Chain A
Amino acid sequence: MDSLFVIGRDTVPGCFEALPGEPLRLTFVVLPGTSCAVETEILLARPGCEADIAGLYLCDGDDRFSLKLNLRHDAGECRSRQLFKGMASGRSRAIFDGRVYVGHGAQKTSALQENHSLLLGDDAFVESRPQLEIYADDVECSHGATVGSLDEQQQFYMQSRGIPRDEALRLQKISFLSPVLGRLPETLFNEVITCL
């Protein structure tokens, strides 16, 4: 299953289940002007399942967005990957609350969760709450979260080549989002790019 959800336009089911031999691939996109709280669960309940989850959220103005994602490894030998990239500008607030649960029987689990955010304004707010809860002892699990701002060295490098500051900032945002942008169909890709 390979599904894409534009939050605010598409309804996100409360639960997804990965099946053996049928990797679950989900992509979430949040465009500016979206205020909502999304909560969903991803189940890996049978051995040998895979889940590949990614998302990007662009919050601006007075947007309030939160994503609560509960990923459960209940069976062994499953693999999950999560990558969420967010940006907040204006007075917006963006919260990523991601829990990875690995149950007693879920030996040989491989789980990776990453959440990186850019804070683009003094009045904007981002929060990352990554949580790992592991009850099996033979697993490979890691998570990482960063909150940062645009890199000034990169900006200067681009400006020194004649790229004006505004365009340099836009390219930096594309660069930051690129691992998720690659998953989008062309029309949505273009829609995201015009928001940057």
Chain B
Amino acid sequence: MDNLLEIRGLHASVGEKEILKGIDLTIRRGEVHAVMGPNGAGKSTLSAVLAGRPDLTVTQGTVLYEGRDLLAMAPEERAWAGIFLSFQYPVEIPGVSITAFMKAAIAARRKAQGLPELKAAEFLRLLKEKMAFVQMRPEFASRSVNEGFSGGEKKRNEIFQMAMLDPVFAILDETDSGLDVDALKIVASGVNALRSPEKSAIVITHYKRLLDYIVPDVVHVLKDGRIVKTAGPELVERIDQQGYEGLDG
């Protein structure tokens, strides 16, 4: 099966307000898609719908992931199936360490997949390896999840979690916002390390910057809840120079 994700006629609302007004999008295995667009276009809503955020209501349309009805799955079931969302605003969990958090996440997924529990030593080796990969200092392992982290540290923690969970389909919701160039390169290398013929990603961004390091296969422009333009990576350059004006389909 070539298509990893198939979105058809997707409409979604927050309360009474319709945000997504008919999205069609197909992502094949191995592809990285960039979604760009002005503020309020619905980019974050799209990513949240795919991850299953409960306050969003899908009013029309279907989403198939590996041929399964994604919208019928609970957020944790989506995670077990290999979906990962890097949050635009990562949530703080005081009193729960990064180690405890990741242990719970990995144990739950392995259980769901019918795999035996990871041995403590193996888990710690993985934790150390992935922290080093995103250049997080080892003492972060015992710190509470995102509590008191700077913006950049939170984003780095998202990429660390992504590396730990090794998703099949990653969604990055403005992971680049507020990052300096060094942090941006770490984020990009995290995503690029996941690239393989089986895996895919959606990279949501306002800026060309990140897409200089993660070169997408396909670029979409989302405006007012609809995809108004789809093209190859050359579209990024055009948007960078001319903005979103005139890209109304």
Contact B51 A160 (CB under 8 A): yes
**Interface residue B132 (Cβ < 8 Å from any Cβ of A):** no
Contact B165 A160 (CB under 8 A): no
1/0 per position for B68-93, CB-CB distance to A under 8 A? 00000011101110001101001101
B-side interface residues, number (CB < 8 Å) = 31
A52 to B37, alpha carbons, bound, how many Å? 53
**Interface residue A189 (Cβ < 8 Å from any Cβ of B):** no
Contact B109 A156 (CB under 8 A): no
**Interface residue A136 (Cβ < 8 Å from any Cβ of B):** no
Closest to A157 in B: B91
Contact A175 B95 (CB under 8 A): yes
Q: Which residues of chain A are within 8 angstroms of B52 by Cβ–Cβ distance? A: 156, 159-160
Contact A163 B95 (CB under 8 A): no
Q: With contacts defined as CB atoms under 8 Å apart, how many contacts are there between chain A and chain B in the complex?
A: 79
Which residues A148-174 have CB closer than 8 A to chain B?
A: 151-154, 156-165, 167, 171-172, 174
Contact A165 B93 (CB under 8 A): no
Contact A171 B96 (CB under 8 A): yes
**Interface residue B55 (Cβ < 8 Å from any Cβ of A):** yes
Q: Name the residue in A158, A161, A175, A181 with the highest tally of chain B Cβ atoms < 10 Å from its Cβ.
A: A161
**Interface residue A71 (Cβ < 8 Å from any Cβ of B):** no
**Interface residue A144 (Cβ < 8 Å from any Cβ of B):** no
Contact B79 A175 (CB under 8 A): no
A66 to B87, alpha carbons, bound, how many Å? 41
Contact of B165 (CB < 8 Å), options: A161, A174, A175: A161
Contact A179 B161 (CB under 8 A): no
A160 to B86, alpha carbons, bound, how many Å? 9
A-side interface residues, number (CB < 8 Å) = 24
1/0 per position for A26-48, CB-CB distance to B under 8 A? 00000000000000000000000
Q: Which residues of chain A are within 8 angstroms of B80 by Cβ–Cβ distance? A: 162
Q: Which residues of chain A are within 8 angstroms of B96 by Cβ–Cβ distance? A: 171, 174-175, 178
**Interface residue B116 (Cβ < 8 Å from any Cβ of A):** no
Q: Which residues of chain B are within 8 angstroms of A111 by Cβ–Cβ distance? A: none
Contact B95 A162 (CB under 8 A): no
Which residues A116-168 have CB closer than 8 A to chain B?
A: 151-154, 156-165, 167
Task: Report B's interface with A, CB cutoff 8 A.
Answer: 51-55, 74-76, 78-80, 84-85, 87, 90-91, 93-96, 100-101, 104-106, 108-109, 112, 144, 161, 165
Q: List 17 A-B contacts (CB under 8 A).
A: A156-B51, A156-B53, A156-B54, A157-B87, A157-B93, A158-B93, A160-B52, A162-B80, A162-B109, A162-B112, A163-B104, A163-B105, A164-B76, A171-B93, A175-B93, A175-B95, A176-B95
Apart from A154-B91, A160-B51: 12 A-B pairs, beta carbons within 8 A:
A156-B51, A157-B87, A158-B104, A160-B84, A160-B85, A161-B105, A162-B76, A162-B106, A163-B104, A165-B76, A167-B104, A167-B108
